[in-house]
Amino acid sequence: MEFEFFSPAFVLLIAAVLICLVKGHARTAVILVAPIITLWAIWQIPDGVQSTVKFLSYNIEPVEGSPLRRLFATIFAIMVFVGGLYSFRIARWYELAAAFAYAAGAIGVCFAGDLITLFLYWEMMAIFSTIVVWCGGTPGAKAAGIRYAIMHLLGGVVLKVGIEGVVVGTGSIQIQPILATDFSTWMILIGILINAAAPPVSAWLADAYPESTPTGSVFLSAFTTKTAVLTLILLFPGEPVLIGIGLFMVMYGIIFALLENDVRRILAYSVVNQVGFMVVAVGIGTEMALNGAAAHAFAHIIYKALLFMSAGVVIYRTGKNKCMELGGLFRTMPLTCACGIIGALAISSFPLTSGFTTKSMISQAAIDSNLVWVYMLLTAASAGVFLHAGIKFPWFVFFQKDSGLRPKDAPWNMGLAMIIFASLCILLGVFPEVLYALLPYPVDYQPYSIGKVLFYLQLLLFSGLAFFVLLPLMKRTMTISLDTDWFWRRAAVLLFKVIERVFASIGKVVSHQRTRLQKFLHRVAVRYLGQPHTADSEERGVFARSWPVGTTALWIAALLSAYVLLYYL
Amino acid sequence: MNDEKQLHWLVRPSTVRKLWIGSIIVLALVVLAQTVIYVKGYFGFDAWFGFGAVFGFASCLVMVLVAKLLGLVLKRPMDYYNEPQDEPQDEQLSDTDVNHDKIKESSNGV
C-alpha cells in the first residue's frame, strides 16, 4: 500500500466513522486495531516529500516523512491504542469517535509537508478536541468547552494570518526553519504558542482539561501541546525568544500546581510545566537540544497519560476530584497507586525512569551552549516538579490522611493500560538507546554517570524533604486560583457591562431629547394647525381655518398684479 | 496498642517514625557519598560539596513561599466564576419607551 497522497491520519479518521456506525465487540475491535494499523502505516512512510498536488497555484504536499515526524506520529499512535484500551468500556461512543478524529488531526500535522495542509489538520484538532471537552457533560464542561473552542479558533486565525503573510511575502508554503523576524512569522509563532499553552493564555489548558471525563482528559493531555512542540521544532528551531517563554511556563506550572486543590488541575498545570522544558529546548536549538525536546515529548506523553489515567481511575471509582476529599486510597487501590507513583517518579526525572534519560538531554544542551542561568533554572524546576507532581499528587491522593474511602481498584482494561505505560516509563529509563535510535539527529550522549545520578538524587531527595518539612504551608484549601483566564472570564465581561451601560445612557439621553423635540414640534403644529378633529373652524390654527372665497380671490388678484408689475420693471 | 493494631501497617505511628529515621539516614548517605564519588561540575560552583542537596531544598523553599504569597492574592472560593452576576437597571429605559409610544399614538390623528 502506498501512502503518497493519504496520510496515516486517514486510518484513524475512518476508524472514527466506524466507531459511530458499529456496536459491541466490533466497535472494541475497531478501537484496538485501528491504532495498530496506523502505527504500521506510519512506518511505511519513507523520508522526504511523497507527492505534490497542485491546488490553486500552490504545491500541496499532503505527506512528508522524516525521523522527527515519524517519532511524534509513533507516540501519538501508541497513545491512541493505550488510551483506547483504557477507555473503551466506560467512554461513550461519541467521545471515542471524537478522540480518534482528534488524534487523526495530530498525526496529520506530523506528516503535513506544507503550511496549508498543516493548518487544515490543526483546525481539525481544535474542533474534535472541543467535542472531547464537551463530553464531560456538566454545565462546567459546556462553558469550558466554549472558552476552549474560542481560544483555539482564535489561535487558528492568528496562525492563518501568519501563513497568508508568509505566502504573500515569500511565495512558498514549505515547512522550513524560520525565525520570528517580521509580522507574519510572529503571527505563525503566536498561533503555535497558543496551542502550546504559552503565556499569557496558558490558562486555557488548566481550565478545559479537568472538565472533561476521566477518559477524555487522558487523550487531551497528549496531542494539542505536543503537536505544537513538533511544529516549533520544524519551524522555529533556535528562536531565542522561546527560551524565555519556556522558562516562564516551567515556573508558572510549578507555582500554580502548588496552589491547586483539584487533582487533574494539578496535572494540567504540570503539562504546561513540562511543555515549558521542551519550548526551552527548541529555543536553544542545537542538535542535542532538539533531540532532547523530541525525546522529552515522547516520554512526557507516556508518563503524563499514565498520571491522568491514575487520576481518572480514582475519579471514576470515587466520584471525587479534590485533594481535600481524597487520601488513604493506597489501601484498596494498590495497582493505581503504584502506577501513579511510577508516573510521578518519571515526571520528576528520577534515575531509571524515562524522565531522567530525556529531560537531562535538555539540561545537557543548556550546559553545552553555556547558558548558566537557563541550566540553573531548569535544575531548580526539576526539584520543583518533584515537589508539585512527583510527591504532591501521590501523597494527597493515595496517602495523606485516611479519607474513609474504600473504592475498588481499576477495572482490568484500565489496569492493563496503566501497566503498559508504567512499563514503558521504566523501559525507556533503563534502556534509553531504544528511544535514542529514533531521534532526528545522531545521539552522542551518556545519560548515566555515577556523579550525575548522585547529583540528581541529592536534588530530588532534598526536594522531597522540603515537601514534608513545608507540608503545613501546603494545606489544601477549597479554593481555585485566579489565572489569566480571569481577564476573559471576568474582566472582559465587566468591560462589556461598562460598554453596555455607556451605550444605554447615551441611548437614554438621545431618546429624551427626541421626546422633547417631538413635543416641541407637536406644540408648533397645534399652534398653527390647531387641535385636530374640531368642527369649529375658529378653534383651529391659522392655517387650518376655513376662509371666505372672496378673500381668496382678493389675494390672488393682488398676487397677479404684483407679478405683472414685477415683469415689466 | 489495640488501636495501633487496627491501623494499616503503613500508617501506624511506629512505622511512620521508622520511615522518618530511614529517610534521614538515606538523605545523609546521599550527601556523604559525595566524599567518595566525584560529581562533575559544569560551572564550578555546582561541584561544591552538597550543592545538589542545598540547591534542591532551597529552590523548593522559595517556590513554596512564592506560591503561598501568590495564593494570598489569587485564591478565590470554588464558586467564584459561578456567582450569578447582578442585573439591575433596564427599568428606566423601558419607561421612556412607553412615553415615546404614547406620543406616537396621540400624534397619529393629524
Residue A108 confidence class, pLDDT cut points 50, 70, 90: very high
The answer to whether the beta carbons of residues A343 and A351 sit under 8 Å apart is: no
pLDDT in tens, A494-508: 999 999 999 999 999
Confidence category of residue A368, pLDDT binned at 50, 70, 90? very high
What are the grid coordinates assigned to A156, written together? 487558528
Which residues on A lie below 8 Å from B73 (Cβ)?
482
H or E element that contains A559:
helix A549-568
The better pLDDT of the pair B3, A558 is held by A558
**CA–CA dist A144, A146 (Å, integer):** 5
Dist CA A462 CA A460 (whole Å): 5
**CA contacts within 13 A on the Cβ side of A163:** 20
Angle at B11 between CA B8 and CA B16, to 5 degrees: 145
Nearest residue in chain A measured CA to CA from B33? A454
Q: Do A458 and B107 touch (CB under 8 A)?
A: no
Report the pLDDT averaged over residues A481-485.
87
pLDDT at A172: 86
Q: What is the pLDDT of residues A55-107, one digit of tens each?
A: 888 888 989 999 999 999 999 999 999 999 999 999 999 999 999 999 999 99
- Confidence grade of residue A478 (pLDDT, cut at 50, 70, 90): confident
- Tell me how far apart the alpha carbons of residues B64 and A359 are, in angstroms, rounded to a whole number: 23
pLDDT number for residue B107: 44
Is the CB of B42 less than 8 angstroms away from the CB of A375? yes
Identify the residue with better confidence: A183 or A526. A183
CB–CB contact B53 A459 (8 Å): yes
- Per-residue pLDDT tens for A422-450? 999 999 999 999 999 999 999 989 889 89
Residue % of chain A over a pLDDT of 70: 98
Could B110 and A525 be called an inter-chain contact, meaning their C-beta atoms sit closer than 8 Å?
yes
Neighbours of A18 (CB within 10 A): 17
Q: Is the pLDDT of residue A198 over 50?
A: yes
pLDDT tens, A77-87?
999 999 999 99
Contact A292, A368 (CB under 8 A): no
Q: How much is the pLDDT for A538?
A: 65
Out of B40, B74, B78, the one facing A478 most closely (by C-beta) is: B78
Confidence of residue B106 (pLDDT cuts 50, 70, 90): very low
**A157 CB-near residues (< 8 Å, 6+ apart):** A191
Which pLDDT does position A324 carry in this prediction? 86
Average pLDDT over residues A446-473: 90
ipTM above 0.90, yes or no: no
Confidence band for B3, pLDDT divided at 50, 70 and 90: low
- The pLDDT of residue A547 is 76
* Spatial distance between the Cα atoms of B44 and A367, rounded to a whole number of angstroms: 12
> Cβ–Cβ of B67/A504 closer than 8 Å?
no
Above 50 in pLDDT, residue B101? no
Mean of all residue pLDDT scores within chain A:
92
Task: Give the pLDDT band of residue B80 (cuts 50, 70, 90).
Answer: confident
In chain A, the percentage of residues whose pLDDT exceeds 90 is 74
- Measure CB to CB from residue A457 to each of B30, B61, B74 and give the nearest one: B30
What is the reported pLDDT for A321? 87
Contact A228, A196 (CB under 8 A): yes
The reported pLDDT for the residue numbered A552 is: 87
A:B CB pairs within 8 Å: 163
d(C-alpha A270, C-alpha A492), whole Å: 27
Q: What is the pLDDT of residue A128?
A: 96
Q: Which residues, other chains included, contact A280 with Cβ-Cβ below 8 Å and sequence gap of 6+?
A: A242, A243, A246, A247, A250, A362, A366, A374, A378
- Type of residue numbered A119: F
pLDDT band at B84 (very low <50, low <70, confident <90, very high): low
Nearest to A103 by CA among A83, A133, A117: A83
Residue-wise pLDDT tens digits, B32-71: 888 888 888 788 777 788 889 999 999 999 999 999 999 8
Cα gap A232→A185, rounded to integer Å: 12
Please give the average per-residue pLDDT across A288-303, as a whole number: 96
How confident is the model at residue B97, as a pLDDT?
Answer: 46
Q: What is the pLDDT of residues A115-149, one digit of tens each?
A: 999 999 999 999 999 999 999 999 999 999 999 99
Q: Which of residues 132-171 of A touch B (CB under 8 A)?
A: none
Question: How far apart (Å, rounded) are the C-alpha atoms in residues A210 and A300?
Answer: 18
Q: Which residue has the higher pLDDT, A532 or A79?
A: A79
Task: Dump the DSSP string for A443-502.
Answer: -------HHHHHHHHHHHHHHHHHHHHSGGGG---SEEE--THHIIIIIHHHHHHHHHHH
A404 part of contact set with chain B, CB < 8 Å: no
Distance of residue B93 Cα from the nearest chain A Cα, in angstroms: 7
Assess whether pLDDT exceeds 60 at residue B86.
no
Whether residue B93 has pLDDT greater than 50? no
Verify whether the Cβ–Cβ distance A384 to B77 is below 8 Å. no
